[in-house]
Structure formats: C-alpha cells, structure tokens
Chains A and B, each alone.
Chain A
Amino acid sequence: MNLKVTIAGVEWKNPVTTASGTFGSGAEYSEFVDLNKLGAVTTKGVANVPWPGNPTPRIAETYGGMLNAIGLQNPGVDVFVKRDIPMLRQYDTNIIVNVCGKTTEDYIAVVERLANEDVDMLEINISCPNVKEGGIAFGQDPKAVEAITAEVKKYAKQPVIMKLSPNVTSIVEMAKAAEAGGADALSMINTLTGMKIDIKKRCFALANKTGGMSGPAVKPVAVRMVYQTAQAVKIPIIGMGGICTAEDALEFIMAGATAVSVGTANFYQPDATIKVAEGIEAYMKEYGIEDINSLIGCVK
C-alpha cells in the first residue's frame, strides 16, 4: 500500500502536514506527536525581522471553530534559521517554511536568507487577513498574486507553494494567477475573515476587531474551493480548512488535493495529525486502495 505523494518533486511519506500558525515550529507539539510520522511540518510564518503581533485578546471560540488575529508574531528569520531548522532536522520529515512579509522586498529577503538552508519547500503567505499591510494585500488581486509569485520564484531555491485566501470573489482566478507566476503548488484555504461580539462587555471579542475563522465549521467552503481550483490548474494543491479527522482529509483528497494540512484540530486534539495519517491508512485498507494517488481528485 502506498501513502507517498510527490509535490513539486518533493516526496512526502504520507499526505499529512500541519497548517501554518497552529503548530509553532513543532517543538512544543513534539511532546505529543512523533514528527517522524508526518509528511511534512509547515512552520508558523516567519518574516525578515521579528514581528510583535497584535494586541490581545487574539482568539475567540466560535461554534465549531474559532477566530484568530495573532498578527503573525514571529522571531524573525535569523533566530528561526539558527534555532528551528536544526530542531526540525532531527526528524525524518519535510520542512515547509511559511514566509510572510509586508512588502515584496520583505518576502524576497526571507526567501534569499533560506536559499542555502536545509529546508524542503517554501509556503508564501499572501493571505493573512490579520495584518494590515502586506499579507492579504498581495492575495486579493490576480495581477498582484502573479507578480509576487514571479518575484519570489526568481530568488527561491526550493519549490514555492502559494497560500491562497478565501476572502476573494474567485479563488480560482487567484490560483490561475499564481500558476501563471510560476508557483509550484498551492495551499488553500487560509482563514475566512470573521467577527465576534462579546454581548456581556459590549465590545469586540478580538482586540483586532476581525479575525480569521478556522475549524470544522469552514470545511465545506474549503472542500468546494479545492474542488473548483483542482479543475482549473495543473499544479498540485495542499488542501486545508477544518480538517479534524481522516474522513475530512479524504474529502479534500477526493476533491483534488494531493496533500492536506491539519490546523485548528491540533488545539482540540494535540495528536490530530497522527490520527488523520493513521485514519487515511485504515480507510485504504478497508476499501482495498493500493495507492493514495488513485484517490486524488477521484470525485469529478
């Protein structure tokens, strides 16, 4: 039975990774998860310099999900390279570094800094809804998506995954633009912009007023977007959005995702990634599936 998938020439032992921002760089979760059993670890976003993030409260629970507005707090690429890459390299898994920035130059600075580092793939976050400058500004206009993709590709030594926002009229247009810009793969979806009001205190639940919604409640939206995009582009898709179980992951794979990311479920169940990977294997046994690749996009 084969669980291996290949994305942009990088082989994963199974199609399961972590959704950026929910797993740090993996050190904290390694007490609960054998990182060797993951196809890849996708790190929290890293910028060229340290970012302090947003004021608190930064999160709020919603029905079947949550809102977050962390604001991409990160220690900066220099600390990340010295501390987190060697930590992750102890494990037999792929390292996907999520890259964030406020300007094109910021993104390029990180990509250049990582060019000679031992990382396997880059995921470019052009879709964070919680940072005013940059982030989402690059992800809501097809011309901007194509331009930032092409710029990053000029400097990147590793395959480039563009992470797309669902907060657009047509995510398919953004996906095509990323492909036209030379993207090697797509990650989708980032969080949906939402809001919660605390009626006892009569204020916003988040200091940032709005936040990105994630968790099982968003899954049908994400599956639909992955399906539509898979029909329109040739590059592989890493699907995410509310995946808690192997059944959830299999929906994304059948809709056209080559791999999947587990995000908010890590908060609900710290070893959710492992449960998803094991559950996919169990499904394949039960249904006599020899190769996971035969399930990718099998529902037309």
Chain B
Amino acid sequence: MAQKVKNIAIVQKNERIGTDIYSIWLKDEQIAANAKPGQFVSVYTGEADKLLPRPISICEIDKENGLLRLVFRVVGAGTRLFAALAEGDTVEVMGPLGNGFCLEGFKKAILIGGGIGIPPMLELAKQLDCEKQIVLGYRDELFLNEEFEPYGRVYLSTEDGSAGTKGNVIDAIRANDLDCDMILACGPTPMLRGIKAYAEEKGIRAQISMEEKMACGIGACLACVCKSREKDHHTNVNNKRICKDGPVFYADEVEL
C-alpha cells in the first residue's frame, strides 16, 4: 500500500465554481504520486478551535505536475477557511487516505455522483478504461458536469427538473434505460441506499463510496464506522472503518 504522508501543500489555484462550491488545486508531489481515484485527503485548518481534519475526496490527480484537485462545498467554519485560501498559501494535508475504487473486472459501467459526491467520480471517469455512462444528480444548480463529457455520455438528474430527468439518479437511470455490469457511486447515504437496492434488484454489483464524521482519518479512533454484513477481520465485530477499509465498499458488503 502506498505510504500516506502529512505535508504542507501549496495552493496553486482556488476558484468558486458554484454558489457554495470551490475548486482548489494543491501542489503536493508525494500525495499526487500515490493517489488513486476514490481516495481522499484530510485537510487541516491549522487552528486548534477547529481541530479535526476535514476529509475531502480527490477530484483530479495530475501526477506529472504533482497536483491534486479538491472540489468541496462550504458547510461550516473549516471549509469556509479553505474557500478563502489564495494562490501561494499553504495548507496541511494528509493523504492519500482510504482504498479507492477497483477499476478492473467489468466491461460496462455506470458512474453515479450525487451532489458533493460528484467530484471523486471525475478522476475515476478519466482513469476507467471501459464503456462508461455517467449519471450526475443535483438538487438544482449544476457544477462539474461539463468536465465529464470527454469521458462518456453524461445523464443528469435534478430534484427541481431544471436539467435532465426530474428526480434522482435512479430515476435518470430508469428513464434512459441504462445497463451495465458495475455501478460505481459516491453521494449522500439516502442515494447510496437507493443504489444498493437498485443493484440488488438488477443483480449487478456496485461499488459505493461512503462518508461519515471522521476524527483521525487513519483507522485508529473508530469514529467513522459502517455496519458490515460479515464480521470484519480487524474490528472483530460487524463494523468496518470507512476511513481505512473504505471509503469504497461493495454495496453487498455493507448495511445502510
């Protein structure tokens, strides 16, 4: 397994790409060299009043230039701090963390991103070498969707019907009659629950990237567990650590 490191990364670029959505490029050659699609980094605020690192998925990896792109939503004081970072600023980052997606063993895939679960699907779409259909679900405002277009046919869903299928990502899959032999998804838990049920209904496997409040980010504190079907080898109970054993799990391994 690639070594994880904690480094001081340099901000190359930070721009607002939606109402509360920011896209930041960080220079960190070590983390970029080791990162895989579906992994995440812990970003530190550097302020002891906001002491827990923020886990943020990796949106793009530019190994050649040693760059990582993170796309995140401002949800509180920590992410507000990251939104204010400017070119040349530094920020402490640990990574790459977690397992990432499995890219082999299937021929036709549906990639599904929901809301702020969309960003990690971009690097996956770039690296995945098979027939790809990309389904992106939004509440209303679109972001990143145009960047997916070079990598496959993009289908949208919006809750208000302002773009694509009105409804959720499963509605978009059904409306467009999509099929595949592997689903790869990241998004809010209710969406993942729907995908797990859909995958079971259709008899296809699904890799889902989960999230939970985290503290250490490296598998020590047991804050971010999910329920697993089988007894986990490490915890010796029916719990898996999202930060270390995940964040990507096969949907049939976990209970949502």
What total of chain B residues lie within 8 Å of the partner, measured CB to CB?
Answer: 33
Q: Does A22 count as interface, using CB distance less than 8 angstroms?
A: yes
B212 → chain A closest CB, angstroms: 5
Residues of A contacting B44 with CB < 8 Å?
A: 268
**Known contacts A75-B236, A268-B44: does B223 contact A59 (CB below 8 Å)?**
yes
Q: Does A36 count as interface, using CB distance less than 8 angstroms?
A: no
**Known contacts A70-B221, A216-B48: does B239 contact A52 (CB below 8 Å)?**
yes
Q: Does B121 count as interface, using CB distance less than 8 angstroms?
A: no
A237 → chain B closest CB, angstroms: 24
Partner of A53, one of B49, B219, B220, B222: B222
Judge whether A267 and B53 touch: CB under 8 Å: yes
Judge whether B51 and A29 touch: CB under 8 Å: no
Judge whether A75 and B215 touch: CB under 8 Å: no
Judge whether A24 and B219 touch: CB under 8 Å: yes
Judge whether A28 and B216 touch: CB under 8 Å: yes
Q: Mark B20-56, 1 if CB is under 8 A from A, else 0.
A: 0000000000000000000000001000111111000
Residues of B contacting A279 with CB < 8 Å?
A: none
Q: Does A63 count as interface, using CB distance less than 8 angstroms?
A: yes
Chain B stretch 168-216: residues in CB contact (< 8 A) with chain A: 212-216
Partner of B48, one of A23, A76, A79, A244: A244
Judge whether B212 and A267 touch: CB under 8 Å: no
Residues of B contacting A268 with CB < 8 Å?
A: 44, 48, 51-53
Interface pairs A-B: 4 shortest CB-CB: A75-B236, A24-B220, A28-B220, A268-B51
Chain B positions near chain A (C-beta within 8 angstroms): 3-4, 6, 44, 48-53, 94, 212-226, 234-239, 244
Chain A positions near chain B (C-beta within 8 angstroms): 21-24, 28-29, 31-32, 44, 50-53, 56-61, 63-66, 68, 70, 73, 75-76, 79, 215-216, 244, 264-268, 270
